[in-house]
Amino acid sequence: MNLFKRTNRTQEKEDLQRRVNELPWHHQIDFGEGVLSPGNTPIGVLRNQADVYFDGIIHGKTFLDIGAWDGFNSFEAHRRGASRVLATDHFAWSEQCWGDRRAFDLARSRIAPEVEVMDIDIPEMNHETVGRFDVVLFAGVFYHLRHPFAVLEQISDLAKEWLIVETHLDALDYDRPSMVFYPTNELANDNTNWWGPNPACVIAMLKDVGFTTVEYVVHPNHPNRGIFRAKR
């Protein structure tokens, strides 16, 4: 590679990094060749989560990401061989949130343009509006819901084989299914956080809405969070 080509490539990388830095990011995204977005959730944590989410179940499967935000999990499912990926969100891409749809769009254009995208709020999601998928991911959303059990029952209909739920946990010293209610901003000083279930509660809910087996794994980085893989 001659000096002109090296200089030109360096300028392209610098321009991309500048575009990336101008946007707000929840996920830290690796654009390749040293271009990395900032993000509230470091890429190492995202990769550790993905190893649990997708272990042995994603290759050749259709995949729905509910609450995609900046899209790391959607892009990762595509990278790991999912046959079709649909990334959905609404809140994180709306004026109600500090997130920005442009961050997702930039990452998608560079990493996995094959990933489909739909701006749709959870109450509008059903098998007619989005379809049904082999694997559905519901990460970082459960505890933000005012009516989590009703929503879990609703979205369970979208999962043909697996529903993966990642959530904040509470009441860890209780063996019986329990859930703590946060009426204001008790959790992380965020008034959009409503509930802290314990593992027994999430497992019982998932079985109640039609899944025969539920695998529970303590989050690899955060002991107050859990990952649940529910199978038909």
CATH code, domain with 201: 3.40.50.150
Tally of domains in the chain: 1
Residue 185 within any structural domain of the chain = yes
* Between residues 50 and 33, the one the model is more confident about: 50
With respect to residue 25, please indicate whether it lies within any of the assigned structural domains.
no
Is 140 within a domain?
Answer: yes
pLDDT at 130: 98
Task: Give burial (CB, 10 Å; 0-12/13-18/19+) of 70.
Answer: buried
Instruction: Give me the pLDDT at residue 188, please.
Output: 83
Structural Rg of the chain based on CA atoms: 19
Task: Note the pLDDT of residue 74.
Answer: 98
Average pLDDT over residues 64-84: 98
Q: Is the pLDDT of residue 88 over 60?
A: yes
The reply to whether 15 falls in a domain is no
Looking at residues 137-162, what average pLDDT do you find?
97
Residue 32 lies inside a defined structural domain of this protein: no
Residue 6: its pLDDT value, please?
A: 61
pLDDT per position as a tens digit, 29-44: 999 999 999 999 999 9
Which pLDDT value is given to residue 10? Answer: 87
Q: Is position 174 within any domain? A: yes
Instruction: Determine, yes or no, domain membership for 176.
Output: yes
As a whole-number percent, the residues of the chain with pLDDT over 70 amount to 97
pLDDT mean over 9-16: 92
**Residue 81 placed within a domain:** yes
Long-range contacts of the stretch 28-36 (C-beta < 8 A, 24+): 28/72, 29/70, 29/71, 29/72, 29/75, 29/107, 29/111, 31/107, 31/110, 31/111, 32/110, 32/111
Domain holding 173, by residue range, is 42-231
